[in-house]
Amino acid sequence: MNTDRITMRHVAERAGVTQATVSMALANHPRISAETRARIRALAERMGYQPNAYISVLMRARRRRRPVQDRPVLALVSPFPTEDGWRVAPAPTVRQMREGALERAAERGYNAQEFWLHRDEMDNKRFSEILRSRGIHGVLVGPVPAGAPPPQLAWEHFAAVCLSTPFPGLNLMTVCNDHYFSSLRVVQECHRRGYRRPGLVLLRSHQGRFHGRWEAGLLFGQRDLPAITSAAPLLLDDWGDAATLAAWAAREQPDVVITPGAEALLPVMHQLGWKVPATLGLAGLGLSSREQRCAGIFQNGRLIGATGVDALIAMMERNERGLPEQGRTLMVEGIWHGGETLRAATR
């Protein structure tokens, strides 16, 4: 079924009701019985109906006799310490999230306006007031830097999504890579290529930020696959710390390094005289693209950003505001990229 052609009229005809009934049912209007609302919403989903955000805003504005903006606005909120921090973030995947969010917002008929959370050192209360004064009801928060607390906006006024792993104690909807599955997939691919002693190398800041998700995938792979004994993980303060990396490798004797910093570590490994992949394999957990030498997982930051916008628009169309009782996380699976830094598969 071509979802581009499915309109509210089609749903109304199939359901045997008026378009007004469909409109109110999809808006969860109490004038429509709960049973009818559920039936129409389920039918619309089966048919592939997608509300047009711009038309929805026009209709709401007409009913309320309010002026209409050219396009409905979403706020893309950067929590980075500098104004251009998200745009120039060192991690390509983080930059791609912003780009993907901007692209998807435009595709869906929204005007994504960028806001810097720390402009003029304003507090979160004042920041929330500024968004409300501009008539903004949807907020997409960018990745929160390691060690920084999550923003504490006046959530009751907004539909909100954050491109991050979950925050303990804050039921904000989050969208992120499936870090556990990425790690498990890398271990499995390394095993297929004959590697038996993987060594995980992370930045120290990754520990709290990702809640052990990468370590968990490695541990499950070690338990599930035959003859694997993993090296003790290495925590670095900086990817360029060649001396610490060399001492760890001499002590733990890994046959493959698994790391989210593969692109940064590859030149360091060459500097140490290591032959990759002849004597030591290298697999990445967060590759910036599928067109590079390193093997590993391409997280596809653009898709993560786009998924965040899709989730946010869905919340706005359901008229959801505030923090839910239970947190929700959407996880985007990474894509395996063969690259050149691992041996060929043995099976």
Q: What is the pLDDT of residue 2?
A: 41
Give the length of the chain.
Answer: 347
Peptide bond into 151 cis (omega under 30): no
SS3 at position 7: coil
Q: Which two tokens stand for residue 31?
A: 């004038």
Q: What is the pLDDT of residue 30?
A: 84
Phi/psi at 186 (5° precision): -65, -45
Q: Which two tokens stand for residue 246?
A: 């060399």
Q: Given strand 256-259, what is the order of strands in its sheet?
A: 234-236, 198-203, 256-259, 281-287, 295-298, 335-337
pTM for this model (two decimals):
0.79
With residue 198 as reference, give the H or E element that holds it.
strand 198-203
Domains in the chain, CATH or no CATH each? 3-50 (1.10.260.40), 73-177+301-332 (3.40.50.2300), 179-300 (3.40.50.2300)
Phi-psi region of 194 (alpha: psi -120 to 50; beta: other; left: phi over 0): left
Query: Which has the closest alpha carbon to 301: 200, 172, 164?
Result: 164
Query: Which has the closest alpha carbon to 164: 132, 135, 134, 141?
Result: 141
Query: Which has the closest alpha carbon to 307: 288, 335, 333, 337?
Result: 333
Rounded to whole angstroms, how far apart are CA atoms 342 and 192?
10
Rounded to whole angstroms, how far apart are CA atoms 148 and 211?
15
Q: Which two tokens stand for residue 73?
A: 């606005």
Task: For the chain, list residues with pLDDT below 50.
Answer: 1-3
Q: What is the pLDDT of residue 57?
A: 53
Q: Which two tokens stand for residue 328?
A: 């929700």
Q: Which two tokens stand for residue 333?
A: 């699976």
Q: What does pLDDT average to over the chain?
A: 90
Q: What is the DSSP string of 108-124?
A: TT-EEEEEETTGGG--H
Q: What is the pLDDT of residue 66?
A: 56
